[in-house]
Amino acid sequence: MKILAVDTATTSCSVALFADRQLLAEEVYTAGKTHSRHLLSIIQGILDRCETSPEELNRIAVTRGPGTFTGLRIGISTVKGLAAALGVPVLGVSSLTALAYPLLWTRQPVVAMIDARRGEIYYACYSQKGGSVEADGTPRVAAPEAAVADLPESGILVGSGAVLYRGLLEERAPNIQFADENAHVIRAASVGRLALDCFDGLTVDSVGALVPEYIRKSDAQIQMSGSC
């Protein structure tokens, strides 16, 4: 079984290809340009390098959010278009879960934080239990000053939100550690690995039901509601 995994939830972009449970290739693009300019070329490049045609894909996974509104729409619409054309199942994976996943081997609580702009962060706390990833509560959005109250006594912070507000977080939560500088980007390989067990258990999303998980309203929605 060949699985394509895609992430466009933040300013970075990542694509990975799996054959069964083996990672064949992954590319992470961090230049920060609009994902619509390069996502399809990255996908095609990985397929070409792995000598795989689109018709050989059996499943596609993608981050469903939270994250940047434009990035999520680009990634999900691209995946839905491919899945519909190829007739393959899709699965949406939490971007916060994928961000935390590589650090769970430390067996410490991991708090994934993504910059939500407007002085806020998306965040969720994760732990490893029984060999699987378990979220301690639901993803939230708040100002970093408020998010501090939800942090565990010790653990690891990771993601663009942790980087942006590191000074404040270090001051308010002195026992918290920060992930290595190379760990703050979502990896499509993590998206694919999280999706593997779901696909093995026949858990999928219908193409029509796969929608972004924004958590909060977009600026356009706020402006529209305020004008009514």
- The verdict on 196 and 178 lying in the same domain is no
Q: Which CATH number characterizes residue 151's domain?
A: 3.30.420.40
Q: How many domains does the chain have?
A: 2
User: Are 192 and 88 found together in one domain?
Assistant: yes
Closest Cα to residue 67, out of 104, 37, 99, 101? 99
Mean pLDDT across the stretch 60-85? 96
Backbone angles phi, psi at 30, to 5 degrees: -120, 15
| Strand pairing category for 140-142 and 120-129 | antiparallel
Domain containing 18 equals 2-94+186-226
The whole-number pLDDT of residue 202 equals 67
| Same domain membership, residue 57 and residue 8 | yes
Residues 122 and 54 in one domain: no
What are the backbone dihedrals phi and psi of residue 181, each rounded to the nearest 5 degrees, phi first? -60, -25
Q: State whether 33 and 70 are in the same domain.
A: yes
Average pLDDT over residues 66-72: 95
Q: What is the mean pLDDT of residues 141-146?
A: 96
Q: Average pLDDT of 199-227?
A: 71
DSSP state of 216: S
Query: Can you tell me the mean pLDDT for 111-133?
Result: 91
The string of pLDDT tens digits covering residues 167-203 is: 999 999 999 999 999 999 999 999 999 999 888 776 7
Distance (Å, whole) CA 215 – CA 50: 36
Q: Are residues 81 and 38 in the same domain?
A: yes
Residue 218's pLDDT is what? 56
Same domain, 83 and 192: yes
Q: Do 86 and 192 sit in the same domain of this protein?
A: yes
